[in-house]
A and B are shown apart, each in its own frame.
Chain A
């Protein structure tokens, strides 16, 4: 190990640690009552009939942040597609089928639909109970990969037309943006949640545009995770380098 680096690390780490500890001692005590923004957010959420305040913050009050967040996911997936593409000196070799113990295979096939339904449930109830597009999308996408875990990669590839997922990833981002632009066309601010009725508190259709934005994020996340994992799986399982390169 480089001696200079250790010295830098020791001095820099100690300095930063001292700074952070001093700052922690000056912070308001843990569990304090002073949360002006938070209190306003709860009121605003109730005013718009959204039972889950976090969803209201995510998809209504700070929907612009969520736009950035889903763009990060979109860009990262696009980046991974570009970075993990098949290079010139590589070729694909179909993987050998795996031999999986029967109970494990049965379990995977049994749990797959349950997990998919759970994912959809978590997305659909995003504006009511804990959950939302992101959480449900990841669960649904992970569920699909039970096919790889419980059977083999070939089985997964058969139910995974990658192009469709890539398109739906982009379409979901478009949908989110179009929903935002619609309010600009209507003469209000970007992403303003004023076009749709707010509905009845604590029902699936409450919150105006919140369920729609939530669904767009859910679709985007589910497709994005599938595409992301597909490229990693391709690299880990299929793509091989030409020898002697």
Chain B
């Protein structure tokens, strides 16, 4: 039973890692990475590592997506203002 839970979560991790790599657009990848971060937190709970799960939640659910999205926004905004200037 506990094994079945671990298998389910592990397979989801493998699938979402594949999805994160396959999403070529960074904004969409950030969404998948945020999902992957939360999923990893669940995996760590299942593997009896609540401390690690907490830090993964703290980092993966809001911080990393925020960093990536800010980066994407800056790059997009830059592209837009360059086009305006032309």
Contact = CB atoms under 8 A, between A and B. Distances in A.
Are A and B close enough to touch in the complex, i.e. CB under 8 Å? yes
Interface of A: 52, 54-55, 122, 130-132, 134-135, 138-139, 142, 145, 225, 228-229, 232-233, 235-236, 240-241, 243-244
A130 B51 contact: yes
B78 interface: yes
Contacts of A232: 66-67, 70-71, 74
A142 B71 contact: no
Q: How large is the interface on B (under 10, 10 to 19, 20 to 34, 35 or more residues)?
A: 20 to 34
Contact of A54 (B51, B74, B81): B51
B26 to A, nearest CB: 13
B27 interface: no
Contacts of B85: 243-244
Contacts of A54: 51-52
Given A142-B66, A233-B70, 8 more contacts: A130-B51, A134-B55, A134-B58, A139-B58, A142-B62, A142-B63, A229-B70, A235-B70
DSSP majority for the A interface? Answer: helix
A229 B66 contact: yes
Closest 10 CB pairs of A and B: A130-B50, A138-B58, A236-B70, A135-B54, A243-B85, A236-B74, A232-B70, A54-B51, A135-B55, A130-B51
Contacts of B57: 135
Interface in B31-86: 50-55, 57-59, 62-63, 66-67, 70-71, 73-74, 77-78, 81, 85
Contacts of B70: 229, 232-233, 235-236
Interface of B: 50-55, 57-59, 62-63, 66-67, 70-71, 73-74, 77-78, 81, 85
B58 A142 contact: yes
A35 to B, nearest CB: 13
Contact of A130 (B54, B62, B71, B78): B54
Contacts of B78: 241
A131 B53 CA distance: 9
Nearest to A132: B51
A139 B55 CA distance: 9
A27 to B, nearest CB: 15
A12 B12 CA distance: 26
A138 B67 contact: no
Contacts of B81: 240-241, 243
Given A138-B59, A244-B85, A236 B51 contact: no
A225 B63 contact: yes
Contact of A135 (B51, B62, B66, B71): B51
